[in-house]
Chains A and B, each alone.
Chain A
Amino acid sequence: MFYYNYTNNKENSMYIYLPIAEQPIHSLAILGVGTFLGLIMGLVGVGGGFLLTPILMFLGIPPPVAVASVANQLVAPSVSGVLSHWKRSNVDFKMGTVLLVGGVIGSSIGVILFNFLGKIGQLDFVIKSSYVIFLSLIGTLMLYESLRLILRKRKGKVSRGKLHQHNWLHGLPFKTRFRKSKLYISILLPILIGVIVGILAAIMGVGGGFIIVPAMIYLLGMPTSLVVGTSLFQIIFVAANTTILQASQNQTVDIVLATILLLGSVVGVQIGAKFTNIIKGEYLRLILSAIIILVSLKLLADLITVPSDYFSIIIHR
């Protein structure tokens, strides 16, 4: 399938023709977007996937191509991130492997679902509405957390909550010991989390860090120091599986787009990481949450405002 975009003003040699998206795009714009997202990843520690896909859609990249290519680009910063966390021994490989088993199952389901939604013509709607839901949720939570932290610091007290609470989730069968994380829990729980994150990763073109990180902390009760490295470890495989399946099932992976994006993002991550000690984390999160909320509002507006034309076309290949 081939979607067209309305922006057609280009008289410039900086444009590069994307072979799969089948349209030219300004190469510096894409490089800039990649670097910006990399900076956020490096500064805040969460993946930029959930911002990258909507930005690409705003730039006129067809949503299916945006989702699949972002999955591809996510592999690079995740590999880079795992390597640096591994060096500091911050990766629980056993937990990561259990999570990725679920993730691979989930992302496979996700790609099949993606294919099905494309056939019935609801793919764009599902991608956009899931973004509205998740971005507004995450944006609001982040805003709340960072504001709370800022206010507390002003008052001059920082209290720490309990590491994790035991609930019915810890009573599930197939209990396994995860030495590194100092946990003795049912293997079903991380697999289930992996499956859910995998499905979302495939449909939304995200690594799922924004879901898996809180899930690991609050549901599994993993030590915070291990969470980022371990989630990145599983994201590599989920993103890789999604990329290969999207490429073979839907032919929507644009390697040129992905490569330009990831070149920008890997550099951005490193720059961002160098600045983390200079800028205060909670203020960063405050800014990021504002960006996320804005993006979700823009997407929501696209869905609820009366369209200028009720009709649209899809030109099949």
Chain B
Amino acid sequence: MKHFRYYLFVIIFSISLSIEGKTENQIVADLSQENVKISTNFLGAKILLFGAYDGKPGDDIIVIVTGRKGLVTVQKKEKKFGMWVNTKKINYINTPKYLSISSNRPLKEILDENTQKSSQIGLNFLNIRTQPGSKILNNENWREALTRNMIISKLWSVNENSVILNKNALFRSYLNLPSNVTVGKFEVKILHYRSGKLISTEKSTINVSKSGFSAQIYNIAQNYSTLYGIFAVLLAVLIGWGTNLIFRKV
């Protein structure tokens, strides 16, 4: 039943196509889940993105999901007194804390490099800036390190061949959010290309938020931090005292 909406959509869409004929250059899309709740049993989320596009043979679909942007620090270790210590760092501002680029075939085949650069499609073509005042000028290695480490942490990904096209009209793709995602609004952009030219786009959002017990704890720890600390201590005192009472009688 998880993908009920998907099947319903497919049926309705095919009916509407046959009745009204095609509207020009449009994409419609929906998500199996628009709100992702991070609760105590959160292990990541797998979301189905599905929709229809007005396509011809050879058309391409690229799906870009971008999370909240912000500060990410890259540190470099150097050998000091025989030990490896972080000595230098670069702060990258405006860095997406989650990014996934999915497509129906390799990006290189869909777009030439100039288009990739100008439309910022590809992990190395993002408009990420170093914080003003950064002393390290030749930072190509650092930028590569950022990409490499974001991929290792599963926060950035390129999933070529993961968008499935069907009869030049339907597409679907699974979006994977790892368990370490940061909360916020995730922007989903669906791009429809015909021989390397963008002909239509569609946008959607996924809301990732903490919920339930773990959200409450997180919020209390952030907003009432001293009280939270006192409570944590009192709880520990109570449990320590309680076990003493229990085991004394045993």
Chain A interface (Cβ within 8 Å of chain B)?
2, 4-6, 8, 10-11, 13, 15-20, 22-24, 72-80, 83-84, 121-122, 124-125, 129, 236, 239-240, 243-249, 251, 253, 255-256, 258-259, 262-263, 266-267, 269-270, 303-307, 309-317
Contact = CB atoms under 8 A, between A and B. Distances in A.
A316 B236 contact: no
B244 A80 contact: yes
Contacts of A22: 180
Contacts of A244: 226, 229-230, 232-233
Interface string B184-227: 00000000000000000000000000100111011001100110
A253 B240 contact: no
Contacts of B83: 125, 129, 303-304
Contact of A258 (B74, B146, B236): B236
Interface string B228-242: 111111011101110
Given A79-B244, A311-B145, A122 B182 contact: no
A247 B217 contact: no
Contacts of B45: none
B148 interface: yes
Contacts of A309: 145, 148-149
Contact of A304 (B84, B89, B141, B243): B84
Q: Most chain-A CB neighbours within 10 Å: which of B42, B153, B182, B244?
A: B244
A259 B236 CA distance: 7
Contacts of A20: 217-218, 221
Nearest to B142: A311
B244 A23 contact: no
Contacts, number: 197
7 contacts: A8-B154, A16-B41, A17-B38, A22-B180, A75-B240, A121-B89, A314-B72
A8 B141 CA distance: 26
Interface of B: 38-43, 70-78, 82-86, 89, 97, 141-142, 145-146, 148-150, 152-155, 178-180, 182, 210, 213-215, 217-218, 221-222, 225-226, 228-233, 235-237, 239-241, 243-244, 247-248
Nearest to B237: A79
Contacts of B229: 243-248, 253
A83 B244 contact: yes
B178 A8 contact: yes
B33 to A, nearest CB: 18
